[in-house]
Structure 1
Amino acid sequence: MKLNSILLAMLEVSEGVDPGVDGTHVMETVDGISVTQYDGEKVTRNVDSVIPSVGPEINKSPHSTWSFNIDAAGSGTKGTAPAFGCLLQACGFVETVDTATPGSETVTYELSHNKSKTVTLVRHTGGKMIQKTHGVRGELSIDFNQFVRMQFGNCKGSYVRPSPGGNPVTIAYSNYADPLPINKDNTVTVELGGQALKMTGGSINFGGGVNHRNIPNSESSAHGDFEPTGQVTFIAPDIAAKNYFADAESHNGVTEQAFKLVHGTVGGNIIEIVSARVQLSNISESDIDGDVGFQADIRFLEAPKLIFK
């Protein structure tokens, strides 16, 4: 579904304070932007009465909750963060730009339990309505079925009443290369435990559930624990070459292995997702076009890094 709607996002210098978002901070979202404008914990007062009635409902912690998808791609320039890098930082990642070695510049995102940064989100709808929210933190998951699709969910920030207003005068998509579909040409590496996977789908959920807190002397959205897990579906390799059932066993010790995915071949639009310590926690069979397939659940004992090259 394509809606008459755009999303803007920008890192906040001070948490909860609008940094001056404009049309140069537009995000290339896909499949719609979902917003619960007036979210929050509702409480009631059950006032005694002789009249058949219900008590009034009161929003104790008004906030907005957003979700949206972005098909990941690099910025098009090595060492330059992608436009959605601000959203990754609001989902608990720390951004590190390395330009020390010309030709090998990278931008790396790593999960951290330190307090994450926040963004302001602005949605323009139909050229008639503007919805804002500040102090936003969210949750990230990645889907590997068609594109490297970043799913930003449970993004919570302060409630700001929607207001009339047109679209930005200037809308400029910058730091966006073209997203590439997942296939043999573009996705040059998918490995689990050193074995190349003929992957037909997969996902990673980075955890870090967000709650909005409105208490005396404090209002903010806060992350919970980051506990990354995932799943991959792939055509089963020859068991003599790789026995994943042995890797899944944990009754006599846990087998740790590495996971690596490399997507893209041109500098400025290469994405690596890597973890040196993964546990295969469950494995089941599936039918993949007549071939025996495996669906494996994985636990990231070391959170995956997202590296843009």
Structure 2
Amino acid sequence: MALKWKSKILLAKLETTYNTDAEPTAAANGILATEITLTPMEGSDVSRNLEIPTLGAQGSVPIDVHAKLTFNVELAGSGIAGTAPAWGPLMRGCAVAETITADTSVTYNPVSDDHESLSVYFLIEGTQFVLTGARGNCTIDFTTSAIPYLKFEYWGLFNQPSEETRVNPTLTAFKKPLAVTKANTPTFTLAGVPLVMRSLMLNLGNAVEPRFLVGSEGILITDKEESVETKVEAVPLGTLNPFTMAADQTDVAINLVHGLTAGNIATLAIAKAQMQRPQGLENAQNIVEWPLRLVPIPTVGNDQWSLTLT
């Protein structure tokens, strides 16, 4: 029987002990995602390089086998201020802390130590792929006239796939998103200057390293280097001069607010981002736009950026 490509189920749950299957369930850990792709057996094939009396191909040994899963999740709040969104565990698996202030807010920010991990189940028809010890990277994408997305890349330790009974995940905790528009995204400022924005992407820049040694195998986040890419309408240099800012290594603040009602307002705040050299000018509908690159810089540490839901 052919397997239907669109018949996909994704479950994810935080692990209590690294690489110990957290056994996510359909009732509590379903993930509403788009554009799921799986590479089930990444790694290397080492040739045996045997000396044999005839010509011919050599056998090989698979080593350092792991899996990679990519997918997007719509960026929307839980609908209740102070209640974590359903995608919260996915952010936490990307070296991000979650801080809940009851009835008020949920804030995400980078952390350097004690990184959490996930067990992820991916089913296509009845074939189940399991990633344990999974950690990843995320890009937060606000693009005008589109849905805001959290774009995840996850790496996990390989487990042999199996045939399982299909489940029906509960996905009601995932709320409908608001498109990025003038009305729905009321605030975007760079260096305190309101600008007309086409897009903004914050890449968390996690260095995710599969590490395979005798006595220890795992997926580690060994470093991070966040980056911001944004496209804005050009303004007179007296209003904002990114060329001088880049030459002077100027740090600027970035602030974006998306959403209108309590429980569904997302504020992306970057207190200090160094302007990089502008790469050129772009023509969009015969309007000059600047593609700008910036690097978020820590102040006291683990404060390069924050995403706060209120």
2:272 matches 1:277: yes
Aligned to 1:27: 31
In the TM superposition, 1:44-123 aligns within 5 A as: 44-99=47-102, 102=103, 105-123=104-122
Aligned length: 297
TM-score by length of 1: 0.92
Q: 2:41 aligns with which of 34, 38, 43?
A: 38
In the TM superposition, 1:289-304 aligns within 5 A as: 289-302=285-298, 303-304=304-305
Aligned to 1:151: 151
User: d(CA) in 2 for partners of 1:152 and 1:140?
Assistant: 5
Deviations 1:186-221 (A, max 9, x none): 111111101112111231211112121121111110
**1:123 deviation in Å?**
0.9
In the TM superposition, 1:102-251 aligns within 5 A as: 102=103, 105-126=104-125, 128-145=126-143, 146-153=146-153, 155-168=154-167, 170-250=168-248
Moved more, 293-302 or 174-183: 174-183
Could you say what the CA RMSD is over the residues aligned between the two structures, in angstroms? 1.5
Conserved 8 A contact 1:74-1:268: yes
**1:114 deviation in Å?**
0.4
Q: Which amino acid aligns with 1:11?
A: L
Q: Which amino acid aligns with 1:298?
A: L
Deviations 1:122-156 (A, max 9, x none): 11212x21111111001111222222211111x11
Deviations 1:210-249 (A, max 9, x none): 1211211111100121100111101112333222322222
Conserved 8 A contact 1:130-1:166: no
Deviations 1:141-178 (A, max 9, x none): 1222222211111x11111111112321x421143221
User: d(CA) in 2 for partners of 1:114 and 1:93?
Assistant: 10
Q: Which amino acid aligns with 1:221?
A: I
Deviations 1:41-71 (A, max 9, x none): 3222211111212322212212111111111
User: d(CA) in 2 for partners of 1:178 and 1:40?
Assistant: 37
Identity fraction in percent: 26
2:254 matches 1:262: no
SS at match of 2:13: strand
User: d(CA) in 2 for partners of 1:97 and 1:139?
Assistant: 22
TM-score by length of 2: 0.92
Gaps of 5+ in 2: 299-303
SS at match of 1:86: helix
Gaps of 5+ in 1: none
SS at match of 1:41: strand
User: d(CA) in 1 for partners of 2:14 and 2:105?
Assistant: 20
**1:183 deviation in Å?**
0.4
**1:304 deviation in Å?**
1.4
The structure 1 segments of at least 4 consecutive aligned residues displaced by more than 6 Å after TM superposition are: none
